[in-house]
Amino acid sequence: MMNINLPLYYSQRAAHYDEIYQRPERQPELQGLCTQLTQLVQDKNVLEVACGTAYWTAHCAKHASSVLATDSNPDMLALARKKLSGQPQVQFQQADAFALPEGDYNACVAGFWWSHVKRSEQTDFLEQLQRVVGSGSTLVMFDNCYVDGDSTPIARTDAEGNTYQIRRLPDGSRHEVIKNFYTDSTLRKKLAQHARDIRVVRGHYFWMLTCVLR
């Protein structure tokens, strides 16, 4: 049976999630993302959306003044808390990406999240960031490029243009997961109403977008 529920997929994947960061061919680009990210969050009060196992939280934590890392998934958060226990500048909170906690932030980080946001929900998400994170705050998003022969193929496209992959977990379970891939110009066009100073850097495996929320 195929699961189509994204939270359930990530619950079942949580224990294996960090394996994605071990792939040798991706290390140089991951290192580059990490360098960019740590410079961007230097001395900032960061709200992190969909933090997963805190791979990026850990990097932010070394340079930011504070990080509130959120995810809707308790299994992910349990692993995240374990990874970063004893770091007082980092707090974790269970929160849906569309119901983010209020706070005194001046930066927002969302890694590998934008691809999971339905096209019809992007405006709501960005308007929420403007409201909760605040005008003048830095937004950093990064995600996958579609790489022929490496990415999981697109299994279907829905009526509004969202694309979906069929992913299999080590326990044999099968999951249909929304995974949208965007060109630089599509990213810019979508963000333009909500942010200024948009910059997109694209590598082979990953892209990173930085901007200032309006």
Ligand X SMILES: C[S@@+](CC[C@H](N)C(=O)[O-])C[C@H]1O[C@@H](n2cnc3c(N)ncnc32)[C@H](O)[C@@H]1O
Smallest distance, ligand X to C-beta of residue 101, A: 12
Smallest distance, ligand X to C-beta of residue 104, A: 21
Q: Is 6 in the site for ligand X (CB under 6 A)?
A: yes
Smallest distance, ligand X to C-beta of residue 173, A: 16
Binding mask 82-111 vs ligand X (x if CB under 6 A, - otherwise)?
--------------xx-------------x
Neighbouring C-alpha atoms within 13 Å toward the C-beta of 168: 4
Q: Is 32 in the site for ligand X (CB under 6 A)?
A: no
Query: Residue 67 in contact with residue 90, Cβ under 8 Å?
Result: yes
With a CB cutoff of 8 Å and minimum separation 6, the contacts of 103 are 45, 47, 68, 132
Quick one: DSSP state of residue 160?
Answer: T
Binding mask 51-80 vs ligand X (x if CB under 6 A, - otherwise)?
xx--xx--------------xxx--x----
Residues binding ligand X (CB under 6 A): 6-7, 10, 50-52, 55-56, 71-73, 76, 96-97, 111-113
